[in-house]
Structure 1
Amino acid sequence: MAGVARFVASSLAPAAQRLAPQAAAGVLRQILEVAIDGYQRFPGAERIAESKLARCGGDPQLAIDAVIDQHIRLAGVQGFATGLGGLIILPVLLPANLTGIAIVQARMVAAIAHLRGYDLDDPRVRTAVITCLLGEEGIADRLKKSSLVSSPMAIATAPVFDPELDRQVSGEVVGELIARISGKKMALTVTRRVPLLGGAVGGCVDGWSTYRVGQYADKSLVRRIRRPIEP
């Protein structure tokens, strides 16, 4: 299964990036807006971060741990919901799951960034937030292959915002998300005769992925003094 997943990732990620860098950036920009600003009853990253900080007595690290735990549960719940019903409705639900898990993880990373003192209105920070969705292994692999030139920390603290880098990161992240969803689809294929089991598998996959992204963001986005964008 691991070999198949790697094959899917290597096959689909370049295809996703070839579709349209501008389109990938546009999709992720909308995801970030919902994750950071919130939407209707879905509170944004700053509100979540400040709420956890208040409940944790002003301790940023405890607040970050609480943010990660909350979003692991959210990812598991929405992953479970989209895994129900077997393969009959899976093709319809996968796009919603792709968007849902991206919003959950982006809000988690953005909340972590806010608790570490980053300005979520800064486009450099927003690019860094999206980059974290690749996870530690995904970023390390792309840095090694030179398909990514900077770490999230370097992006967030760069002297100026780089629109081209933002488009490049968007393409990589969209490709990674598609590969993850395709890998989960294969896992659910194995459990197609037991829909509830498929839901449990979907929830576990999304929860584990969110845990890994959260741990990487916690380690990568160390506290820094904010630097204004240069004109």
Structure 2
Amino acid sequence: MSTMGRMTGGVARQMAPRAAAMAPGLTSSFVREALHRAIVGVGPLPPAAKAAEAQLREQRGDVEKAVHEVIENHVRYAGAQGFVTNIGGIVTAALTIPTNVTGLALIQCRMVAGIAHLRGYDLDDPRVRNAILTCMLGRDSVDKLVKKRKLPAPPMALATAPHHDPDLDRQISAEVAGELISKVAGKRLAVTVGRRVPIVGGLVGLGADGYATWRIGRYADSELLPRARR
């Protein structure tokens, strides 16, 4: 990670308590609702599996090319600030959660769910849903949480665990909610800086969202190894 990245991350963590106050709806239950809507479809976005199947047809049955296209498409969605904000608004009507952050969470959930579907995972399986949310944390955070024993295993092992642990649902949802709150803090910082140079601020936000989505997509790609498709 670059020096600038470490500095920004440190400031974002310091601002996280304030961000939590700004976005009280960023709870574990919200995380599950966002995942559900990403899977079943919301607004202009069709269900994750349906969109993934469309990509598979376009790629003439080549699963790996379809996975690549799913990632690229969602990176473009993430970079389209207006699109992200509109999607977020659908989910957060009457809530105080920043719409750009929630729209981004929806897009990233949907991307990972699409990858999971193409690799042969059942999106209705609670173990798979836990794996999808864990991918949202990113490799670095997951590795740290596993090392600290706050998570039992990385996404692939969660998706293929022998049994579903309901307690793990709450634990993973809480970690993802905390990650979203950190994103709120980071965006508040970017807005503050961007006020001085609005064009630069906008470009930073667009690039950051797209890059973050790409990294999560690559992590899901490497973690959710192929299973026999049903």
Provide TM-score, normalisation by structure 2.
0.83
Say how many residue pairs are matched.
213
Higher relative contact order (CA 8 A, sep 6+): 1
Deviation for aligned residue 1:216:
0.1
SS in 1 for 2:80: helix
**Residue 147 in structure 1 maps to residue 161 in structure 2:** no
* Contact in 2 for aligned 1:35/1:107 (Cα 8 Å): yes
Mapping of 1:62-73 within 5 angstroms?
62-73=65-76
| Structure 2 counterpart of 1:51, from 42, 51, 54 | 54
What residue identity is the alignment partner of 1:42?
A: L
Deviation per residue, 1:182-206 (Å, 9 max, x gap): 1232133222123233222111111
Unaligned runs of 5+ in 1: 83-91
Mapping of 1:206-221 within 5 angstroms?
206-221=209-224
Which residue matches 2:103? 100
Deviation per residue, 1:139-179 (Å, 9 max, x gap): 11111222222111111111111111111011111111111
Which residue matches 2:88? none
RMSD: 2.7
**Residue 181 in structure 1 maps to residue 184 in structure 2:** yes
SS in 1 for 2:182: helix
* Contact in 1 for aligned 2:12/2:189 (Cα 8 Å): no
**Residue 37 in structure 1 maps to residue 30 in structure 2:** no
In the aligned structure 2, how far is the partner of 1:197 from the partner of 1:93? 26
Which residue matches 1:8? 12
* Contact in 1 for aligned 2:121/2:227 (Cα 8 Å): yes
* Contact in 1 for aligned 2:15/2:185 (Cα 8 Å): no
SS in 2 for 1:64: helix
* Contact in 2 for aligned 1:153/1:221 (Cα 8 Å): yes
| Structure 2 counterpart of 1:193, from 175, 196, 203 | 196
Deviates more, 1:193-202 or 1:38-47: 193-202
In the aligned structure 1, how far is the partner of 2:57 from the partner of 2:137? 30
Deviation for aligned residue 1:11:
7.2
Residues 156/79 of structure 1: CA separation in 2 closer, same or farther (3 Å cut): farther
Unaligned runs of 5+ in 2: 86-94
Provide TM-score, normalisation by structure 1.
0.83
Which residue matches 1:86? none
Deviation for aligned residue 1:10:
7.2
Mapping of 1:110-121 within 5 angstroms?
110-121=113-124
* Matched-pair identity in %: 49
In the aligned structure 2, how far is the partner of 1:79 from the partner of 1:136? 28
Residues 193/8 of structure 1: CA separation in 2 closer, same or farther (3 Å cut): closer
